[in-house]
Amino acid sequence: MVAEAGNGSEAVALALQHAPDVILLDLNMKGMSGLDTLRALRDEGVDARIIVLTVSDARSDLYALIDAGADGYLLKDSEPEQLLEHISAAAEGQNVISDAMADYLLARSEQRDPFTALTERELDVLQEVARGLSNKQVAAQLHISEETVKVHIRNILRKLDVRSRVAATVMYLEYKSH
């Protein structure tokens, strides 16, 4: 152990000063929350493995911290030996999640919105295409050039991993009907 911080701001300063390999971060801290501290660490370019150690078994906390760049999420009530194993695994580059929380991530990945990769403008284009509009009509509707519409459609097809605008439309309509 190189350092111990009493709050988020101190954690960021110490991480920049010592460049640790692994950071254990409590979710509930005085001042900055663990989530805000994690974001600050990542914004500052800290590339240490950051493991959140918490009592919270709330899905929303897990999702927010993983999305913000946490490399692990461990519950404090885990067995001490298991915590040590997870921390060692994280130091070796693995992402670690307490067993009790792993099912939440699995369930989330199965229902993940495939359209989150699209920009707002690409979604606008896809919605108009799904309404049956041609490229020219989409361009007029969105006040952009037809060439720009074509670029957006190419990006949509690539991001959704489909080969045609029909396939993208079907995917969009099926997903939105759930």
Find out if CATH 3.40.50.2300 is the number for domain 8-110: yes
Q: What is the pLDDT of residue 53?
A: 94
**So what's the pLDDT on residue 55?**
94
Determine how many CB atoms are found less than 10 A away from the CB of residue 145: 11
Between 3.40.50.410, 3.40.109.10, 3.40.50.720, 1.10.10.10, what CATH number should domain 114-176 receive? 1.10.10.10
pLDDT score, position 51: 95
Please indicate, yes or no, whether the overall pTM of this predicted structure exceeds 0.75: no
Collapsing DSSP states into helix, strand and coil, what is residue 52?
strand
| Lateral strand order in the sheet of 96-97 | 22-26, 49-54, 72-75, 96-97
Q: What is the pLDDT along the chain (178 residues), one digit of tens a residue?
A: 899 999 999 999 999 999 999 999 999 888 899 999 999 998 998 989 999 999 999 888 888 888 788 889 999 999 999 999 999 998 988 889 998 888 887 776 656 677 888 899 999 999 999 998 999 999 999 999 999 999 999 999 888 888 888 888 888 887 777 6
Residues of the chain with CATH 1.10.10.10: 114-176
C-alpha to C-alpha distance for 146 and 136, rounded to whole angstroms: 6
pLDDT at 112: 66
Q: What pLDDT is attached to residue 115? A: 84
What pLDDT sits at residue 137? 96
CATH 3.40.50.2300 in the chain is located at: 8-110
